[in-house]
Amino acid sequence: MVNEEEFLKTLKSSVKDSIDRFYRNLVYIEKKDYLNDLINVLKAYLEINSNPKVAYAFHPWVTESKERMLKIREIFSNFDDIDYSSSDKYLGNTYDIVILDLVDNFQPNYIGRLVDLVRGGGLIVLYTNNLVENKLFKNTIVRNGMVSSLYEERFKNKIAEHEGTFIINEQGYFARTFSGNLGKRTSAVIPKNPYMPIELHRLSLSEDQNNVIESFEFLLRGGKRILALTASRGRGKSAVTGLSLAGIIYKNLEDNFKSRIAVTAPSISSCSQIMEFLKKGLDALGIKNKVIKSDNGFIRAIDGNDFRVYYESPEATLTDQGNILVVDEAAALGINYIDIATKVWRKVVLVTTVYGYEGSGKVFLKYLRNMLVSRKLSVRWLTMEKPLRYAEGDPIENWLYNALMLNAEVSRPLNDINVTYFETLNKEKLINSDSILSQVYGILVTAHYRNNPDDLMIMLDGVHHHLKSIYYDDSYIAVAQVSEEGELSDPMIEYALKGGTFDGDLIPDRMLKHVRIKEFGKMKGWRIVRIAVIPELQDKGIGSKMLLMLSKEAEEERVDWIGSSFMGDPKVLNFWIKNGFYPIHVSPKRNEKFGDFPVVVIKPFSEEAKKIVNISSYIFKEKLLNTLHDVYYDMNPNLASILLKGSRSHKDVKLTKIHLAKISAFLQGTSPYESSADAIHLLVLKYFWDSKRNWNLENEEEQVLIGKILQGKPWGYLSSTLGINRTHMNEIIYESIYDLSKKYYNLDADSTLGVSLEDLSDEFR
């Protein structure tokens, strides 16, 4: 500990060194009277850099927050005030100082997003009166008036442990300067004989970016091609993608070839850097262009003679046609979307983060590689290693990755596993051991690429969140995060029934809104938020063993049900159904960020829960079959097939003799599919409602029947998404209808084509 004068002197010295060596420093202030210290820190920086570019992030709608911001703005001339909720708009900007107001809210996602906007020689300032009390995000984790502060305790400890950090609190002033070694500052290395225009290379900031620009030539060759670009955060991957697209357009114009390029991401703001740098590239090349902006100021499209580049939502790209599809933040959209997109588009660029607040790109890449290899596609993999905004080895990047667990890794098992143990983990023990926390959280991250820093805070601070594990020796091999739900009060149940929403209790909320049975809200449940097994031991029954142990514990604790909610992935859904869970709800809308339909599954224990789940399963199956042509038109047919089989509800669908005659005519070739479609539709419904049969059609047959007959997808679109040509689809439909007609009614191509009026006396009265 030092006095204030020595603290500020040391800070100024460290800032000078950071400017020379291109690294960053961080100041953390937690005091009841924080304002004077905050202003003194900022003025100290001004003595070294008199005109810094400053960003100040806060929640402007909270009482007194604007007043704090205005006091700080008086000090600077180059100042951006940023609303946390729209901070993604600023991800392409670079600042000398970023100030994060943590008085009203402390949310890890915002920390991860905004700290990286500071350049080498710059300063990050976090300030608050108290990190744990009256915080917006933390209030959403409170249950029955209780919440922990384990995450905040660890967060502050990590600041104190790392170099390049300066702390001011009620105890005094603490300075820990950076003394480590750094890599060389990045710079562009223009190729001697570049294929792409040299003007684009001159806009690059690193050799990595120069290499990426040249590699985009891969897309100009014939055939189906995928280019996958991966990097840690702050490497300039989105910017160089925009420059590279300008090169593609330039080369196509040289060859008198038109360019139509779709760019997609979880939101239009997510891909703003691609569009902005595309504009810079086109301008540098002297290519005339017209920018069209969205209502919120982002570039929505760039048009020119013989080219158009435009933002499109992920869902819309699956029915679009063009030369190239660019997917930014690909890991956030998920492997199911990528699978379909790479079938629909011939040229695809996938841009994703290896470590970052958007999700775990490393895990996504594992799934992506497996998928692309299985389909034998031509792929070029590109990586970018060097940071652009600061030097390699920057102490604040190291702190950020450690504090937010962005680089959690799994320990591989060293020995053969003979005996395993099931336990509930002690969260206080976790926060005091980076190695154990990295193992446990790393297991969850390696199995779920849609993680973000907020998840770890919920896991550690939520008193109703529990961590279950399977381990052997000192190694963890499987982890489940379980959240207590249900036992709602009557006012909360009525609130949900009237459309109100509240934090937590996800499954009771969905059941009350979509099934409307009040008693379910009163029941005690466990929602399995995440469950994961280390990669080396997946598909060996360990995940199922975990569910078995959780089920046993739940019954012992007199829990009425356990369940889970997840994005609709066929493999994941099969896992839950195999382990005795019933699908009882699918969101009527795709998740806007991830592009999939969220699914809810439940396994009941109490008799009352079993009755409600049986009713819910029937209602769900009825809704799905009745609305596949409308609400769930865009659902993957394979996912729909698994959901229908998983429901296990039964109804006997009746076909009249006229329907059977129409089917016979179809089988004999005297009636085309379109003329017999009503009868065929009923026969397919009969098959999917029939849960008593001990036989099934082939999976491919079910997908075609769902996609064409129940969803009514156009032949061309269904062909591209399923990877089956139209001729083969017609054959599949014919053979499937033949099999169903034979099994249910003993019909075949030789059956009677017509009926007499007398035959219909019992059916039409």
List binding-site positions. Answer: 209, 389, 531-533
**Closest residue by Cα to residue 486 from 518, 529, 530:** 518
208/230 Cα distance (integer angstroms) = 11
Rg (CA), the chain: 29
25/176 Cα distance (integer angstroms) = 10
Which one-letter amino acid corresponds to residue 322?
G
Q: What angle do CA 244, 250, 255 make, to 5 degrees?
A: 130
620 is written with which tokens? 């769900």
**SS (HEC) of 37-51:** HHHHHHHHHHCCCCC
361 is written with which tokens? 């790109």
CB 211, CB 289: distance < 8 Å: no
Count of Cβ atoms closer than 10 Å to residue 288 Cβ? 9
Phi and psi at residue 697, in whole multiples of 5°? -70, 165
Which residues are known binding-site members for ATP?
A: 209, 389
Which letter does DSSP use for residue 705 in this model?
I
Which residues are known binding-site members for acetyl-CoA?
A: 531-533
Q: Residue 765 in 3-state DSSP?
A: coil
291 is written with which tokens? 């920018």
Q: At what angle do helices 150-161 and 453-461 cross, to 10 degrees?
A: 120
> Where are the extended beta strands (E) located within 250-396?
259-264, 290-293, 299-304, 307-311, 324-327, 347-353, 378-384
Name 456's Cβ contacts closer than 8 Å, sequence gap at least 6. 108, 151, 404, 405, 441
42 is written with which tokens? 């900022």
Query: DSSP letters of 158-176?
Result: HHHHSSSEEEEETTEEEEE
